[in-house]
C-alpha cells in the first residue's frame, strides 16, 4: 500500500523565501514529508500556474528532506481562492480526473495549506468521497525550534468515533422514534393485530383478551392501549396491572375486590382493591388462567354488572373499568377441565388477539433491539450503541436456529440490558457480543435441559435402563418423580398417583403399588428423598 | 525460520539492524517480531525501513512487512551482491546506521562496492560520519577491509540532506582484533562543526572546553560547513597509537552552548578515567564484525544494555558467544 498525499501548495505558509533561513521555518507541506512515522510515497502538489516557481522550490526541498517521496504537480485554475464556487469547482474537477487506485494506494488530504475556503472544499469533497481518503493536518513544533512539527490524521468515517456515534443515535431517537410513537415493526401478522387493536381500543370498552407465549409483549401492549386511550381522552382513571399468579387465597379476594375493616384476621384497615383502583381506567389481569374459581365468579359479576362485593361487606361497590386479560395458557382447555369458568371465558373472549412469539416475527427483532437500547439509554441517562461488526454478529446469531428466544422479548430485553450495562464508554464491542451469545446459548440449553424428561430421568436411572426406555416412560417417570419428591411418604405419593383407581379397589395399599411400579425401573422410593 | 524477539533487552532499532546483518552474513531466514516494542512509537520508523530496504537490496532478499509502523518483518536473504548502491533516507534518518548494517555483508562479498548515501550524517543516537571515518573504519581496515570515505555535504536533524560516499573492498575473511591497550596518546582535538547558526555558539563551546579541560588553543577548531538546515555538533577526539576515540554531542535550540560542550566533556572524562582503548559506542559496533570474523578481545567501559542485547541477538545466529568480564567498575574485557 502506497501513501499518497494531496496538498495545496501553501502560498503563504510554504513561502519562506529562497534563502537558508527557510529551513528554520515551519513549512506545512514539507513538514508532512519529514515525519519519522509517516512515509509519503508520493506528493500531489496542487497550485495555480503562476506559483510554479514556489512549487519548484518546495519540490526540490521535499526531495532533499525526503528522498523517498516522488512529487507531482497539478495546475488548478481559480482566479480568487476565496470564491467558494470557483474553488470547489476546480477541486472537484481535479478529483474527477485524478484516477484514484484505492487497492494500491491510500490517500491523505492535507488541509493545513490553502485558504479557509479551500480547506472547506477539501473537507466537503473528502466527506462526499470524491477524494477517497483521510484528512491530515500538520502543526508546528510546540517551541520555537527546528523540529519538523507534528501531524494528525482525521478519518471522516463518523462511525469510528464513539462520541459522535452516540450523538447521532440520540438525535435519531428524538425524531423518528418519538413521532412514530413506538417501534416500527415489520411483521405483517403483528401489524394487523395492532391496527385492529387500535381501532377497538378507541371504539370499544369491552374486554380484550391477549394470548401468546410468555414474553411476547402482552403487558407492553396493554400499556400501549392505555396510552392510546389516554391521548384520545377516553380514560380518566389509571392503568392497574396485576399478575394473577401472584394472587393466592384470602389475599387474592381482598387484593382484587378489597375488604372491610375486620373482614378477616389481619384486616386491620379497609382496603379498596384493584378493581376499584381501576375505576374509569383499565384493569390488566395478566395470566388470568391462574385466577381461582371463586375470584373468577366475582370478576364475571364485576364485568357484567359493574359492581361487586368487597370481602366481608354487605354493600356492593361499583367500578367502571375496562378489562384487558392476558394469558399464555389455552383457556378453552382449562374450561373443559373445569379450571376456568366457561361463562367468564365467553365474556372475555370477544376481542381475542394472539401475539406471535419473537421467533415468529424475527424480522422485528432489529427494531426491537434499537428500542431496547433507547429504553436503556433513557433509564441509564447515557447512550449505548453497537459497533458495526458487533451488531452484525449479534443479528446473525439472533436470526440463527440456535437462538430459540424462549422467553421472547423478555430474553431480548435482558440480553440488551446486559450488553448495555457492560458496554465500554457506550460502545458494545464484538468481544462483549461473543460473551453474551455464549450466555444466551447456555441459558437456553439449561432451560431445555430442565424441561427435557430424558435429562430429568437421567438423574436417578442407571444408564442401561435409561437408554432402553421409551420417551413415553421418561415422561411418565418425570411426573412420578415430581410427586414422589413433594410427598411426605410413599403412602402419600401413592394416594396422589392412584387417586382414581384406588377408589375402586377393595383393599388399598398405595405404597405397595408405588413400590412395585418403581421396582419395574429398578428404583426405590428413598432415592427421591 | 529463526524468530528474533525485537522486544528483548533494550528493545530498539539495534536488534533489527544486528539481525539483518547476521541474517545476510549467515544466510539465515528470519522473522523479527515486536520490533521496537519498547519505544514510544513502536514498529519500523522511516530510518529503520531504510535499513531493511538497504539490506534487501544488498542481499536480494525476499521481505514481507516492510512498511512504516510494521512491528513484524520476515527477511529471507540470498547471496550478497557487490555493486553500486544509493541509499536515501528522509527525516534526517541516520545514514551511518545503514552503512553499518550493510558493511559486514559487503566486506565479505566477492567484489568491490560503491555506496552513496543521502540523509542525516550528524544525528542524536547514531554515530556521526566523523566517528565512522576516524574510529570505526580504521579498525575495520585493521581487520582487512579496505574502506574509502568521502563527505560532500553535512546533514543535520531535522532537515538531513547530507551526502557522502563509501567504497568497500572486501577482505575475503575478517581477521581477529586484539585491542587491550590504546597505546600512547599521539594527538587530540576538539572540533565544533556548525551550519547556518550564529558564530558565537562555536566560540562559547570551545571556550568551555578550554576552561574545563585546559586543552591548548591550537587543538580547538571551529568548522563551518555547507548544509541545508542549521546544525551544530561538538566533537572531542583522542588519537592513540592503536585506535582513536571520538565523543560527540549534538547542539540544539534551547540548550546552551556551554551545556552542549559540558556533555561532551563528561563523556571524554569517563573514557580517560577508565583508560581503556574502546569507548561505549564503539564496543557495540565492534562486536558484529568480530563475531563474523576472526573473533578477538578488547577492553572497554562497563557494557551498556545495548551491548548485552547485541550479544544475545548475535548468539541467536552463531554458536560463539561473547564473554563479558568485569575487571574493575569501568574496566571490562569483551572477547569471543
Q: Does A501 touch chain B (CB under 8 A)?
A: no
Looking at residue A1, its pLDDT comes to: 87
- Summarize the confidence of residues A443-467 as an average pLDDT: 78
From chain B, pick out residues whose CB is under 8 angstroms from the CB of A148: 91, 158
Residues 9-48 of B with CB under 8 A from A: 41, 43, 45-47
Distance from CA of A18 to the nearest CA of B (A): 12
What is the percent of chain B where pLDDT is above 70? 100
pLDDT of A358 higher than 50: yes
Nearest to A66 among B90, B229, B252 (CB): B90
Which string of DSSP letters, residue by residue, matches A399-445? HSTT---TTTHHHHHHHHHHHHHH-BTTEE-HHHHHHHHHHHHHHHH
Residue of A26, A64, A143, A144 best to disrupt the B interface, most CBs of B under 10 A: A64
B70 at A interface, C-beta within 8 A: no
The ranges assigned to domains in chain B are 2-179+278-317, 185-274
Instruction: Identify from B159, B201, B227, B251 which residue to disrupt to test chain A contact, counting A C-beta atoms within 10 A and taking the largest count.
Output: B159
pTM of the model: 0.58
Chain A residues lying within 8 Å of B157, measured CB to CB: 146
pLDDT, tens digit, 9 for 90 and up, residues B18-77: 999 999 999 999 999 999 987 888 899 999 999 999 999 999 999 999 999 999 999 999
- Collect all residues of chain A within an 8 Å Cβ-Cβ radius of residue B92: 34, 65
Read off the pLDDT of each residue in B184-197 and give the average, rounded to a whole number.
92
Closest CA to A33 of A53, A7, A11, A1: A7
Would the CB atoms of B196 and A20 count as touching at under 8 Å? yes
Q: DSSP character for B108? A: T
In this predicted structure, what is the pLDDT of residue A176?
A: 32
Tens of pLDDT, residue by residue over A386-407, are 888 889 999 999 999 888 898 8
In angstroms, the separation between the Cα of residue B135 and the nearest Cα of chain A is 28
- Give the per-residue pLDDT at B265: 93
Q: State the average pLDDT for chain B.
A: 91
| Chain B residues inside the 8 Å CB shell of A144 | 253
Cβ distance of B91 and A143 shorter than 8 Å: no
Interface test with A, best of B39, B45, B47, B91 (most A CBs within 10 A): B91
Q: Inter-chain contact A23–B228, Cβ cutoff 8 Å?
A: yes
Q: Any chain A CB within 8 A of the CB of B69?
A: yes
Q: How many helices (H) and strands (E) does chain B have?
A: 9, 16
- Does B284 have pLDDT greater than 80? yes
Least confident of A337-341, A446-450, B64-68, B278-282: A446-450
Domains of chain A: 2-161 (3.40.50.10770), 172-354 (3.40.50.300), 362-451 (1.10.8), 457-528 (no CATH)
CB contact under 8 A, B47 and A36: yes
**pLDDT confidence of B117, banded at 50, 70, 90?**
very high
Kindly tell me if the per-residue pLDDT of A159 is higher than 60.
no
| CA pair distance A408, A439, nearest whole angstrom | 16
pLDDT of residue A175: 33
Q: Cβ of B161 under 8 Å from any chain A Cβ?
A: yes
Dihedral of CA B199/B203/B204/B209: which sign?
positive
Residue A1 and residue B119: Cβ atoms within 8 Å?
no
Which residue, among A431, A396, A438, A399, has the nearest Cα to A415 in the 3D structure? A438
pLDDT at B97: 94
Does B102 touch chain A if contact means CB atoms closer than 8 Å?
no
Residues A323, A284: Cα–Cα separation, whole Å: 6
A64 with B160: Cβ contact below 8 A: yes
How many Å from the N-terminal Cα to the C-terminal Cα in chain A?
72
pLDDT band at A177 (very low <50, low <70, confident <90, very high): very low
ipTM value for the complex:
0.80
CB-CB under 8 Å, B252 with A69 = no
**A67–B47: do the CB atoms touch at under 8 Å?**
no
Residues in chain A: 529
- Is A101 an interface residue toward B (CB < 8 Å)? no
Which of A38, A69, A148 minimises the CB distance to B158? A148
Nearest to A320 by CA among A222, A202, A211, A240: A240
In which band, very low, low, confident or very high, does the pLDDT at A312 lie, cut at 50, 70 and 90? confident
What digits encode the pLDDT tens for the residues B72-102? 999 999 999 999 999 998 888 899 999 999 9
DSSP string for A475-518:
HHHHHHHHHHHH-SSHHHHHHHHTTTHHHH-SS--HHHHHHHHH
pLDDT over 90 percentage in chain B = 73
pLDDT attached to residue A173: 40
Distance between CA atoms of residues A372 and A94, nearest Å: 46
Whether the predicted pLDDT of B159 surpasses 90: no
**In CATH, what class is B2-179+278-317?**
alpha beta
Q: Is the pLDDT of residue A178 over 50?
A: no
What is the CATH architecture assignment of B185-274?
2-Layer Sandwich (3.30)
Chain B touched by A150 (CB under 8 Å): no
Q: Which residues of A touch B122 (CB under 8 A)?
A: none
CATH fold match for the domains B2-179+278-317 and B185-274: no
Q: What is the mean pLDDT of chain A?
A: 84
Least Cα separation, residue A9 to chain B (angstroms): 19
CA–CA min distance A359, chain B (Å)? 47
Between A52-56, A500-504, B133-137, the lowest mean confidence (pLDDT) is in: A500-504
Nearest Cα residue to B30 out of B97, B100, B80, B77 = B77
Residues 6 or more apart whose Cβ sits within 8 Å of residue A501: none
Instruction: Check B158 against A144: CB less than 8 A apart.
Output: no
- From the DSSP assignment, how many helices (H) and strands (E) are in chain A? 23, 15
Residues of A in contact with B54 (CB under 8 A): none
Q: Does A58 touch chain B (CB under 8 A)?
A: no
Residues A142-152 pLDDT 10s: 755 457 788 88
Residues of A in contact with B230 (CB under 8 A): 20, 23-24, 146
Any B CB within 8 A of A127 CB: no
Cα A501 to Cα A340, B2, B203, distances in angstroms: 26, 83, 121
Say whether pLDDT at A179 is over 50: no
- Confidence band of A449 (pLDDT split at 50, 70, 90): low
CA distances from A376 to A48, A106, A461 (A): 55, 39, 46
The pLDDT of residue A143 is: 59
For residue B17, pLDDT beyond 90: yes
> Taking residues A89-109, what's their average pLDDT?
88
Q: Looking at residues A73-88, what average pLDDT do you find?
A: 89
Per-residue cell: A511: 405404597
- What is the arithmetic mean of pLDDT over B147-165? 90
Task: Give the C-alpha separation, B250 to B235, whole Å.
Answer: 9
Angle value at C-alpha A132, between A130 and A134, nearest 5 degrees: 125
Write out pLDDT tens, residues A8-63: 999 888 888 888 888 888 899 999 998 888 999 999 999 999 999 999 999 999 99
Q: What is the mean pLDDT of residues B264-284?
A: 92
Q: Which residues of B touch A142 (CB under 8 A)?
A: none
In this predicted model, what pLDDT tens digit does every residue of B311-333 receive, in sequence order? 999 999 998 899 999 998 889 99
| pLDDT at B256 > cutoff 80 | yes
At residue A300, the pLDDT reads: 92
pLDDT at A29: 94
Candidate from A159-168, A191-200, B130-139, B185-194 with smallest mean pLDDT: A159-168
Stretch A426-430: mean pLDDT, rounded?
Answer: 83
SS3 content of chain A, % helix, strand, coil (to 5): 50, 15, 35
Higher per-residue pLDDT: B229 or B316: B316
Contact call for A64 and B45, based on CB within 8 A: no
Based on the number of CB atoms within 10 Å of its own CB, is A98 exposed (0-12), middle (13-18) or buried (19 or more)? middle
Is A34 within 8 Å of chain B by CB? Answer: yes
pLDDT on residue A166: 61
Catalytic residue IDs of B: 306
CA distance B175 to chain A (A): 37
For A249-272, the pLDDT digits (tens) are 777 888 888 887 776 766 677 788
B interface test, pick of A66, A71, A147 with most B CB neighbours within 10 Å: A66
Instruction: Give the pLDDT mean for B182-190.
Output: 92
Under the banding of pLDDT at 50, 70 and 90, the label for residue A509 is confident
Indicate the pLDDT class of residue A180, thresholds 50, 70 and 90.
very low
Q: Select the residue from B50, B90, B228, B251 to test the A interface by mutation, using most A Cβ atoms within 10 A.
A: B90
Least confident of A244-248, B33-37, B46-50, B154-158: A244-248
Amino acid at each position: 500500500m502506497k501513501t499518497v498525499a494531496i496538498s495545496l501548495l501553501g502560498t503563504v505558509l510554504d513561502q519562506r523565501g529562497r534563502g537558508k533561513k527557510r529551513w528554520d521555518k515551519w513549512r506545512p507541506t514539507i513538514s508532512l514529508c519529514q515525519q519519522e512515522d509517516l512515509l509519503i510515497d508520493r506528493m500531489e502538489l496542487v497550485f495555480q500556474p503562476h506559483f510554479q516557481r514556489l512549487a519548484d522550490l518546495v519540490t526540490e526541498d521535499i526531495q532533499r528532506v525526503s528522498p523517498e517521496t516522488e512529487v507531482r504537480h497539478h495546475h488548478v485554475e481559480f482566479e480568487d481562492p476565496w470564491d467558494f464556487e470557483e474553488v470547489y469547482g476546480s477541486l472537484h474537477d481535479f478529483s474527477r480526473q485524478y484516477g484514484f487506485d484505492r487497492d494500491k494506494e491510500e490517500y491523505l488530504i492535507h488541509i493545513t495549506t490553502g485558504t479557509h475556503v479551500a480547506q472547506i472544499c477539501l473537507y466537503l469533497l473528502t466527506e462526499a468521497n470524491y477524494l477517497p481518503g483521510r484528512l491530515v493536518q500538520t502543526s508546528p513544533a510546540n517551541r520555537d525550534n527546528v523540529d519538523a512539527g507534528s501531524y494528525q490524521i482525521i478519518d471522516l468515517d463518523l462511525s469510528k468515533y464513539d462520541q459522535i456515534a452516540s450523538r447521532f443515535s440520540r438525535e435519531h431517537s428524538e425524531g423518528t422514534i418519538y413521532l412514530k410513537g413506538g417501534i416500527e415493526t415489520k411483521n405483517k401478522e403483528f401489524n394487523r393485530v395492532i391496527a385492529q387493536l387500535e381501532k377497538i381500543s378507541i371504539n370499544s370498552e369491552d374486554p380484550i383478551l391477549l394470548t401468546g407465549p410468555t414474553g411476547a409483549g402482552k403487558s407492553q401492549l396493554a400499556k400501549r392501549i392505555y396510552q392510546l386511550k389516554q391521548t384520545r381522552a377516553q380514560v380518566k382513571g389509571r392503568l392497574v396491572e396485576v399478575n394473577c399468579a401472584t394472587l393466592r387465597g384470602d389475599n387474592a379476594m381482598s387484593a382484587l375486590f378489597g375488604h372491610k375493616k375486620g373482614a378477616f384476621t389481619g384486616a386491620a384497615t379497609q382496603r379498596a382493591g384493584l378493581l376499584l383502583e381501576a375505576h374509569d381506567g383499565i384493569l390488566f389481569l395478566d395470566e388470568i388462567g391462574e385466577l381461582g374459581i371463586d375470584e373468577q365468579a366475582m370478576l364475571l359479576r364485576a364485568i357484567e354488572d359493574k359492581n361487586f362485593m368487597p370481602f366481608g361487606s354487605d354493600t356492593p361497590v361499583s367500578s367502571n373499568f375496562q378489562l384487558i386479560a392476558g394469558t399464555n395458557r389455552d383457556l378453552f382447555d382449562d374450561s373443559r377441565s373445569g379450571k376456568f369458568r366457561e361463562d367468564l371465558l365467553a365474556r372475555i373472549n370477544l376481542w381475542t388477539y394472539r401475539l406471535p412469539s419473537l421467533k415468529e416475527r424475527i424480522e422485528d427483532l432489529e427494531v426491537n433491539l434499537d428500542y431496547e437500547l433507547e429504553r436503556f439509554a433513557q433509564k441509564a441517562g447515557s447512550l449505548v450503541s453497537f459497533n458495526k461488526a458487533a451488531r452484525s454478529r449479534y443479528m446473525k446469531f439472533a436470526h440463527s436456529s440456535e437462538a430459540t428466544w424462549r422467553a421472547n422479548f423478555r430474553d431480548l430485553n435482558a440480553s440488551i440490558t446486559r450488553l448495555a450495562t457492560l458496554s465500554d464508554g457506550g460502545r458494545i464491542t464484538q468481544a462483549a457480543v461473543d460473551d453474551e451469545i455464549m450466555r444466551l446459548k447456555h441459558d437456553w440449553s439449561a432451560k431445555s435441559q430442565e424441561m427435557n424428561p430424558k435429562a430429568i430421568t437421567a438423574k436417578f436411572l442407571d444408564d442401561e435402563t435409561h437408554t432402553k426406555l421409551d420417551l413415553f416412560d421418561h415422561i411418565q417417570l418425570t411426573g412420578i418423580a415430581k410427586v414422589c419428591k413433594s410427598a411426605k411418604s410413599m403412602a402419600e405419593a401413592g394416594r396422589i398417583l392412584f387417586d382414581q383407581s384406588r377408589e375402586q379397589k377393595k383393599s388399598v395399599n398405595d405404597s405397595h403399588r408405588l413400590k412395585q411400579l418403581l421396582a419395574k425401573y429398578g428404583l426405590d422410593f428413598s432415592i427421591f428423598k | 525460520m529463526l524468530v528474533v524477539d525485537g522486544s528483548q533487552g533494550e528493545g530498539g532499532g539495534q536488534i533489527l539492524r544486528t539481525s539483518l546483518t547476521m541474517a545476510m552474513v549467515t544466510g539465515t531466514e528470519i522473522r523479527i517480531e515486536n520490533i521496537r516494542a519498547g519505544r514510544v512509537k513502536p514498529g519500523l520508523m522511516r530510518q529503520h525501513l531504510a535499513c531493511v530496504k538497504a539490506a534487501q537490496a544488498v542481499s536480494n532478499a525476499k521481505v514481507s512487512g516492510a512498511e512504516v509502523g510494521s512491528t513484524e518483518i520476515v527477511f529471507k536473504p540470498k547471496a550478497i551482491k557487490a555493486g553500486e548502491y544509493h541509499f536515501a533516507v528522509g527525516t534526517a534518518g541516520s545514514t551511518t546506521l545503514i552503512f553499518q548494517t550493510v558493511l559486514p555483508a559487503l566486506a565479505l562479498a566477492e567484489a568491490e562496492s560503491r555506496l552513496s548515501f543521502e540523509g542525516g550524517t550528524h544525528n542524536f543516537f547514531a554515530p556521526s560520519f566523523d566517528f565512522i571515518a576516524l574510529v570505526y573504519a580504521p579498525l575495520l581496515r585493521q581487520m582487512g577491509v579496505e574502506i574509502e570515505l568521502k563527505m560532500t555535504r553535512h546533514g543535520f536533524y531535522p532537515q538531513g540532506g547530507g551526502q557522502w560516499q563509501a567504497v568497500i573492498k572486501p577482505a575475503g575473511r575478517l581477521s581477529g582484533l586484539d585491542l587491550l591497550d590504546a597505546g600512547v596518546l599521539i594527538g587530540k582535538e576538539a572540533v565544533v562543526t556548525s551550519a547556518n547558526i550564529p558564530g558565537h555558539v562555536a566560540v562559547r563551546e570551545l571556550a568551555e572546553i578550554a576552561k574545563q579541560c585546559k586543552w591548548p588553543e591550537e587543538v580547538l577548531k571551529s568548522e563551518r560547513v555547507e548544509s541545508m538546515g542549521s546544525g551544530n555538533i561538538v566533537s572531542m577526539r583522542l588519537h592513540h597509537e592503536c585506535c582513536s576515540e571520538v565523543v560527540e554531542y549534538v547542539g540544539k535550540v534551547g540548550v546552551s552552548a556551554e551545556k552542549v560542550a559540558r556533555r561532551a566533556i563528561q563523556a571524554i572524562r569517563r573514557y580517560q578515567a577508565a583508560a581503556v582503548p574502546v569507548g561505549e559506542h564503539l564496543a557495540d559496533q565492534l562486536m558484529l564484525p568480530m563475531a563474523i570474523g576472526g573473533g578477538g578481545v578488547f577492553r572497554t567501559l562497563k557494557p551498556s544494555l545495548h551491548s548485552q542485547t547485541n550479544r544475545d541477538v548475535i548468539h541467536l545466529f552463531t554458536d560463539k558467544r561473547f564473554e563479558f568480564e568485569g575487571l574493575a567498575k569501568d574496566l571490562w574485557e569483551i572477547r569471543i
